Amino acid sequence: MTLTIDYDFRNQIRGFNASLNYCYQCATCTGICPVAQLTNGDFNPRKLIEASLLGLKDKLINLQQPNVWYCLTCQKCVEVCPQKVELTEIFDVIKNSCVKAGKIPDAFNSQAISVLETGIALPFSDPIMKRRGQLGLEEYKTADPKEINTLLKSIGFDKLLRFEAPTKTEKDGGK
Ligand code: SF4
Ligand code: SF4
């Protein structure tokens, strides 16, 4: 596989978060990452940072190797990094680039549509609302969804999402 260095992409990430420059590839982040452990190293934060340092845009965005969306944003890696690299901030730049390239996973696309339409990513179900009432919790309120919708559309958020219903094949996971 031929890997092309994209200097603009590398500079874009470094410009957004200069802590990338200080990574010396010690792999302490990978050692503590719960997802790296669960995936037997298939997901690897050190490799994400390495590819960012090298400007390997195609590997990070199109191939998604490793897949940045697996990160839980638990911040364990950030806490232990001896160089104070802000990994999750850097991952945000990669994720944003994925979204602009139409490479947003279905689950995140659905949550984004929910934010656009209701103002929250994971709306409470009726049973949860009922349970809240039984527990004497205050009525759950969000900002006006119409205002949120208007704001998000004004920055082109809706243009980044997929609204078509999944085909039966997609729903079945390609079976
Ligand atoms: S722990 Fe920090 S310095 Fe070490 S590889 Fe990870 S990001 Fe780089
Ligand atoms: S923030 Fe992401 S990369 Fe870092 S330890 Fe948690 S899951 Fe792993």
Single-letter amino acid, residue 84: K
What the block records as the tokens of 163 is 């609204």
Binning the chain into helix, strand and coil, the percentages to the nearest 5 are 60, 0, 40
The residue among 103, 92, 76, 72 whose CA lies nearest residue 17 is 92
Distance of CA 101 to the CA centre of its chain: 13
pLDDT, tens digit (0-9, with 9 covering 90-100), for 127-168: 998 999 999 998 888 889 999 999 999 999 999 999 976 555
pLDDT, tens digit (0-9, with 9 covering 90-100), for 22-61: 999 999 999 999 999 999 999 999 999 999 999 999 999 9
Dist. CA 121 → ligand 2 center (Å) = 21
Could you tell me which CATH number the domain at 7-100 has? 1.10.1060.10
Per-residue pLDDT, averaged over 13-28, amounts to: 96
- What does the alpha-carbon distance between residue 67 and residue 60 come to, in Å, rounded to a whole number? 7
Ligand 1 atom, smallest distance to 80 CA: 1
- What does the alpha-carbon distance between residue 84 and residue 90 come to, in Å, rounded to a whole number? 12
Domain-wise residue ranges, the chain? 7-100, 106-171
Closest ligand to Cα 82:
1
Dist. CA 47 → ligand 2 center (Å) = 12
- What does the alpha-carbon distance between residue 126 and residue 104 come to, in Å, rounded to a whole number? 29
pLDDT, tens digit (0-9, with 9 covering 90-100), for 81-117: 999 999 999 999 999 999 999 999 999 999 999 999 9
> According to the model, what pLDDT value does residue 21 have?
96
Dist. CA 78 → ligand 2 center (Å) = 8
Q: Which residues, including other chains, have CB under 8 Å from residue 171's CB and lie 6 or more apart?
A: none
